[in-house]
Structure 1
Amino acid sequence: MWTHTLTDAGIGLRSPHLQAIIRDKPDIPWLEVHICNFLGGGLNRILLHKIRENYPLSFHGVNLNLGGVDPLDKGYLQKLSQAVDEFQPALVSEHLCFTSLQGHHFHDLLPIPYTATALQLIAERIDQVQTLLARPILIENVSRYIHYSESEMSEAEFIAALSKETGCGILLDINNAYVNQQNLGIDINEFLNRLPMANVGEIHLAGFSETDDGWLIDTHGSQISEPVWQLYRQLCKNYPAIPCLIERDNNLPSLTELLQEQAQAQRIINQYKRKDTSNVYAARY
């Protein structure tokens, strides 16, 4: 049985904050690393080892292309496997999407149709990754701006089936689910009710931007909205032991401002936390 050791509210580790975190050692339970940014450079790895001395880590990736049809990138997978062995992150996560086709990289997280064929293909690709890493990964729900007419099941049903088929965990991004509700009319409560919450190993909280015509865009470039906070509060009533991440990628604020949002999430967790942590995600592989 492999069980992660993360609890409470962490933040995403971003380059402008590296030196301050190494120097000041702020009281943060854990840090999530965009691991793609650290696989190539020696200096980055040295800094990451310094961070690892004081903080548990979670690895978050964007390059696996789990929803694609091109063969998995063996070179990238090998580097990821080496980094996992080297830094021993508590969790490893990726997005349920495709990012490249026929060797062309789109630099975006593109949604997939929820079909039985796609389910089989992605399950096989997740199995390949988990076999190489010798551990389960988490898959994250993404923000979407279209419906596929070919879809045969809902997003939540698809994610639940993938988790059951492969033993992978789920990274629940509440902001992405809220964006999908506002843009596409998807009932977020139904989405959450259909997810196997026992398999949720991490929660993401982030901010969005709004276009002039009312569309919400998952930019990770603003503070977390009040509706997303409200959804997180409701979720925490039953699942306070799931580790939560404050995710910010654009319009990056000061570390002090980021830690204020982290403290807000931690207060919510503390309000509902119980001695019973039976809902902490554990997976066997």
Structure 2
Amino acid sequence: MPPISWFEVHSENFFTTSNYDHYVLEIITTHYPVSFHSVGLSLGSADCLDSNHLRKLKELINRYKPVLISEHLAWSAVEGVFLHDLLPLPYCSDSLQLFCDKVQRVQDYLGQRILIENPALYVKFPESTIPEYDFLNQLVEKTDCGILLDLSNLYISSYNLSFAAEKYLAQINTDAIYEIHLAGFSQSAKGLLIDSHNGTVAEAVLVLFKYFIKNYGVRPVIFEQDQDIPALQELIDQTEKVNDVIKEYVA
């Protein structure tokens, strides 16, 4: 029973019928609040929503009562083929309408709000006519969804595409941000930052986290690591480092 405020799990990992997986999740949800972070709804795809996937998600939600539910501003399936990655979409009026429709249908089916996470970006489409922060703002306005702000992704995107993360934060609807993600990243041979989730939070991201708290207040925070996973105590140490940043600005 480590001194952790809450946990987050990938929903799809528990679509399994494995008794052991659910045994573990039941223990965790008995003692801690838990949020469900999905990676497979493919909300940005032109494909129809996967009704079987949605059904399994709702069954899981009804069973474990997560405090938050989230997905990604991305797509991962086309013509029934699942590509096992969170792929970017052009930020234009057509994709905004498609994404709004998908989010609204998911929320109607689940009977509750979901949060949408900003992705880590490596390319910019020439078809994009809407800044990402405005795309998310309009999504919130049209569907009443929330935002999961991944500050590591924001830093990665700002570095790769050469824009100021602070200006992004000044434009996004911070009142709609209900959760923050922090994670480690790596750098490719060509110099791109990669959202690899395989290490501690970079100092530059912690600086951005401090900036957010100072200007916009505290939100529930999750430290993500899903590759090269160390001993539990190292993960706990990382969360304590994040908590120290919060305590620095909050009495």
TM > 0.5 = yes
Q: Which runs of 5 or more residues in structure 1 are unaligned?
A: 1-24, 275-285
Determine the structure 1 residue equivalent to 2:185.
Answer: 208
Given residue 33 of structure 2, which amino acid in structure 1 is its aligned partner?
Answer: P
| Percent of paired sites with the same residue | 38
Please, which of 124, 127, 141 is the counterpart of residue 164 of structure 1?
141
What is the Cα deviation at residue 271 of structure 1?
A: 2.4
Aligned counterparts, 1:246-265, within 5 A: 246-265=223-242
3-state SS, counterpart of residue 59 of structure 1: strand
For 1:213 and 1:79, the matched residues in 2 are separated by 40
1:123 aligns with 2:78: no
Q: Name the Cα RMSD after superposition.
A: 1.0
Q: Which runs of 5 or more residues in structure 2 are unaligned?
A: none
For 1:120 and 1:110, the matched residues in 2 are separated by 18
Say if 1:68 and 1:101, in contact at 8 Å, map to a contact too: yes
3-state SS, counterpart of residue 31 of structure 2: coil
For 2:100 and 2:108, the matched residues in 1 are separated by 12
Please, which of 223, 238, 242 is the counterpart of residue 200 of structure 2?
223
Greater relative CO, 1 or 2 (CA 8 Å, sep 6+): 1
Query: What is the TM-score normalised by the length of structure 1?
Result: 0.86
1:55 aligns with 2:32: yes
Please, which of 2, 8, 12 is the counterpart of residue 36 of structure 1?
12
Alignment coverage as a number of residue pairs: 250
Say if 1:62 and 1:94, in contact at 8 Å, map to a contact too: yes
Query: What is the TM-score normalised by the length of structure 2?
Result: 0.97
Q: Please list the CA deviations of residues 258-285 of structure 1 after superposition, one character each: whole Å capped at 9, or x if unmatched.
A: 11110011112122225xxxxxxxxxxx
What is the Cα deviation at residue 193 of structure 1?
A: 1.2
Given residue 32 of structure 1, which amino acid in structure 2 is its aligned partner?
Answer: E
Please, which of 149, 172, 185 is the counterpart of residue 162 of structure 2?
185
Q: Please list the CA deviations of residues 158-210 of structure 1 after superposition, one character each: whole Å capped at 9, or x if unmatched.
A: 01110111000000001111111111112211211111001001000001111
